[in-house]
Structure 1
Amino acid sequence: MVNMEYQNISNGSLFGPTSVETLISSSVLGLCCTLGVPGNVAVMVMLTQHLKEDSFTPKLMLSLAVSDLLSLISLPVWIYALLNGWVFGRALCKLFSYLVYWSLYCSVHAVSLLSVQRYLQVLYPQRWAKLGRKGQNGLIFGIWTSSGALASYSLYFRSVKHMEDGFLQCYPDYSNTQEKIVVLLVETLVMFIVPLVSLLGFYLRLHQRISHSASFKSHRLTKLVVRIVVAFFIFSIPCAINNVVLMVVSWDSNASHYITGALFFINSCVNPFLYAFSASSLRSRSTVRPATTISE
Structure 2
Amino acid sequence: PALSAHSSHCGIYALLNAWIFGLETCKLLGFLVYCSLYGSLLTVTALGVQRYVVVVNQRRCAQVQKSHLLVPLWFGALILSIPALVTEQVETKEQWTYCYPQFSSRAQGLAVLLSETTSGFVSFFVVAYSYIRLHRRIRQATFFNNPQTTRLLTSIIVSNFVLWSPLHTINVLALGAICFKKDSLLMSCVNIWDIVKAIAFLNNCINPLLYAFNFHKLCRVCISQEESAYPSPTLEISTVAETMIIN
- Same fold per TM (> 0.5)? yes
Counterparts in 2 of 1:292 and 1:102: CA distance versus 1, 3 Å: closer
Deviation sequence 1:207-240 (CA, Å, 0-9, x none): 3223333332225544332221111111111111
Quick one: distance in 1 between partners of 2:237 and 2:197? 40
Q: Which residue of 2 aligns with 1:158?
A: 88
Compute the TM-score of the two structures, normalised by the length of structure 2: 0.79
115, 123, 145: which one aligns with 2:75: 145
The residue correspondences of 1:132-211 to structure 2 (distance < 5 A) are: 132-134=63-65, 136-162=66-92, 166-190=95-119, 192-211=120-139
Identify if the C-alpha distance between structure 1 residues 160 and 186 changes in structure 2 by more than 3 Å, giving closer, same or farther.
same
- The 3-state SS of whatever aligns with 2:90 is strand
Instruction: Give, in angstroms, the shift of residue 256 of structure 1.
Output: 2.0
Whether contact under 8 Å (1:215, 1:294) holds in the other structure is: no
Contact 1:108–1:195 (Cα < 8 Å) also in 2: yes
The 3-state SS of whatever aligns with 2:200 is helix
Q: Which residue pairs with 1:264 in the alignment?
A: 200
Distance in 1, Cα, partners of 2:172 & 2:153: 27
Which has the larger displacement, 109-118 or 247-256?
247-256
Distance 1:266 1:205, change over 3 A: closer
- The answer (yes or no) to whether the contact 1:90–1:160 under 8 Å persists in 2 is yes
Distance 1:207 1:283, change over 3 A: closer
The secondary structure found in structure 2 opposite 1:174 is coil
Matches within 5 A, 1:244-259: 244-249=172-177, 250=182, 251=185, 252-253=187-188, 255-259=191-195
Structure 1 segments unaligned to the other structure (5+ residues): 1-67
Quickly say closer, same or farther: Cα 1:77–1:294, change in 2 above 3 A: closer
- The residue type paired with residue 103 of structure 2 is Y
RMSD: 2.8
Return closer, same or farther for 1:149/1:86 CA change in 2, 3 Å cut-off: same
Aligned partner of 1:231: which letter?
S
Q: 1:210 to 1:257 in 2, by over 3 A?
A: same
Q: Distance in 2 between matches of 1:96 and 1:258?
A: 12
Alignment gaps of 5+ in structure 2: 239-247
TM-score, with structure 1 as normaliser = 0.67
Residue 199 of structure 1 aligns to a residue whose secondary structure is helix
- The one-letter amino acid paired with 1:218 is N
How far, CA to CA, are the matches of 1:90 and 1:154 in structure 2?
12
Q: Which residue of 1 aligns with 2:242?
A: none
2:145 to 203, 217, 228: 217
Q: Which has the higher contact order (CA 8 A, sep 6+)?
A: 1
Residue 216 of structure 1 contacts residue 295 of structure 1 at CA under 8 Å; is this kept in 2? Answer: no
Which of 59, 75, 81 pairs up with 2:8?
75
Superimposed CA distance per residue, residues 65-106 of structure 1 (whole angstroms, 9 cap, x where no aligned partner) = xxx211211222111111221111111111111111111110
Q: CA deviation at 1:176?
A: 1.2
Cα deviation, residue 272, structure 1: 4.2
Pick closer, same or farther for the CA change 1:213–1:223 going to 2, 3 Å.
same
Query: Is the Cα contact below 8 Å between 1:158 and 1:171 reproduced in 2?
Result: yes
Aligned length: 224
How big is the shift at 1:295?
9.0
- Does the Cα contact within 8 Å between 1:215 and 1:293 map onto a contact in 2? no
C-alpha displacement at 1:289, in angstroms?
4.7
Contact 2:55-2:137 at 8 Å conserved across structures: no
The percent of aligned pairs where both chains have the same amino acid is 33
- Structure 1 residues 54-93: aligned runs within 5 Å: 68-93=1-26
Q: 2:157 aligns with which of 215, 229, 244?
A: 229
